[in-house]
Structure 1
Amino acid sequence: MYPVDLCIIASRRPDLLSLTLSGFSSRVFSNMIIDRVFVNIDPIFGGDLEHSQCIHAVLQHFPTAKIFEPNVPNFCAAVRRVWGATEGRFVFHLEDDWVPLYSMGDELFEKFDVAGVAQVSFHTIDRRWDIRRKGNFHHSRVYRKILGVKMPTNRYFPRFSTAPSLLMGDFARACALRMIDAYDPEKQFYSGVNVSLQDYVSPYKNYIYSIDGMPVIRDLGREWSAKRGIVKHVADSKSIWFGQDV
């Protein structure tokens, strides 16, 4: 087993958070040594009661967790805050609306033996990444315009994620130092709005972990949002949520 600093990004959704914590605790964290725990609970999708329920859910699993309670919700600031607080060699990044489909442990750490791997993320249905055809390293093709026409090149750039993943601690902390709160944290890795971050991550790799090419975690948040009419809109690398419960 390996010691890990755990980072949790949460909003005021205690029902989802409880499912996430129970699922990962039984199937993933039980196969690791959880050292420090950092949790950010943003004031969105609920009120004071739901906020207190989230704190209770966290402390049930991790009594010594450091919990950040900002007055204003900001997804990037939340990621930057918890990643920057870590100290360990490995950081496990978790959001409050996922469940694992399998037990996982040491095999995740083995992927860091591959040169350049700084993140091991989890294959999901929503990722729409064909591992059998494209391999396990998440990347995108570089395009350039020729006479106003967008043309593919033979060059690729790595794609990193803020969905649940395991990261090298130094990598996570270096990314946190470079993130800009005005933008969606994941979009900053590749969209051109944060050149400093893109340049830093360019030599590294994101390994998508899968079992027999199949997803290993499931997103609970999409269904939760759809039932409540909450919609996420992304424009100019900024994410905004619309709906009556926001």
Structure 2
Amino acid sequence: MKKHEKIDISLVSGARPGLLRETLESFYSKLFKNFDLQTLYVNIDPFEGGPEEVETCELICREYFSEVVSRKPDKPHFTKAVRWLWSRPKADWCFHLEDDWVLSREVSLQEFHDAQKRNVAQISLMTREKNWGYRSMYHYEPSRLTFLGRDLGKSLNRRRPIFTTSPSFVRRDFAHRCAELMNDTLDPEKQLNTLNPELNAYTADFRNHFIGARREFVAIDIGRQHRDEHGITKTVIDGNSVWTNEEN
């Protein structure tokens, strides 16, 4: 097996230099070092900061990556950020990341290769938020098993694979097609799995394989604590995610 695997990186960032540096330091030391890094595609939204913080975030990115392609829109828009990022990669696989995660352990090249099974288009890191208590290493929609009207317990709907915008490897062709089919008015993760019939019909043919065992939280969300400390709440309005500051 090759010692290194070429991957691109797609990164959604706010104008939050402290969070971004913590995230990149963690992923660089525990995951990125095991791969041959090609291009970092980064979308830096003016979220929680202004032009100075946006420029600082770009400089931080250039400390970790030699090839950086950045997009710095005037207004934040999560779905447009994801669509642009997922349309960019040129390597066979990219690693998608947001600026508010850290790793609890090292992620190896071998784990990445082991997860590349038939029809796998995404390889996602296990997180607490997935609340995954099933034996399957593939992410499917939870359901209930019934027989003659009797509830036999929890099961999985294997016709409905679940995909994510949390830390994960994404196959280039899958990412490109998802970006083409996404609707700007809907949250990207929610429409990957519901809300967007054409996109859902496409993703149904693929699978999302986990890295990490049940109840093992390989990636840890540090954004929730940050939002709580700064009085920022996330709500879903008409299928799209909206962040508001309670202090304003």
Normalising by the residue count of structure 2, what TM-score does the alignment of the two structures yield? Answer: 0.89
Q: Which residue of 1 aligns with 2:83?
A: 80
Counterparts of 1:118 and 1:89 in 2: how far apart (Å)? Answer: 11
- Residues 151-193 of structure 1 show CA distances to partners (whole Å, capped at 9, x for unaligned) of x9984411100001001111111111111111110000122x2
- Displacement of 1:214 in angstroms is 1.0
1:45 counterpart SS class: coil
2:188 counterpart SS class: coil
Residue 21 (str. 1) matches residue 24 (str. 2)? yes
Residue 103 (str. 1) matches residue 106 (str. 2)? yes
Residue 49 (str. 1) matches residue 52 (str. 2)? yes
For structure 2, the 5+ residue unaligned runs are 145-153
- Residues 33-73 of structure 1 show CA distances to partners (whole Å, capped at 9, x for unaligned) of 01111000011111222112211111111132011101121
- Residues 171-230 of structure 1 show CA distances to partners (whole Å, capped at 9, x for unaligned) of 111111111111110000122x21111010001111121057511111110000000110
For structure 1, the 5+ residue unaligned runs are 144-151
CA RMSD of aligned residues (A): 2.0
Residue 8 (str. 1) matches residue 11 (str. 2)? yes
Residue 158 (str. 1) matches residue 158 (str. 2)? no
Counterparts of 1:217 and 1:112 in 2: how far apart (Å)? Answer: 17
Normalising by the residue count of structure 1, what TM-score does the alignment of the two structures yield? Answer: 0.89
AA aligned opposite 2:204: S
AA aligned opposite 1:102: R
Q: Of the candidates 188, 192, 210, which is equivalent to residue 185 of structure 1?
A: 188
Structure 1's 219 and 72: CA in aligned 2 closer, same or farther, altered over 3 A?
A: same
Would you say the 8 A contact 2:140–2:156 is kept in 1?
no
Q: Which residue of 1 aligns with 2:140?
A: 139
- Displacement of 1:4 in angstroms is 0.2
Would you say the 8 A contact 2:40–2:69 is kept in 1?
yes
Q: Which residue of 2 aligns with 1:222?
A: 224
Query: Runs (4+) of structure 1 moved beyond 2 Å?
Result: 152-156
Would you say the 8 A contact 2:132–2:214 is kept in 1?
no
Give the number of equivalent residue pairs: 235
- Taking every aligned residue pair, what percent have the same amino acid on both sides? 32
Q: Which residue of 1 aligns with 2:207?
A: 205
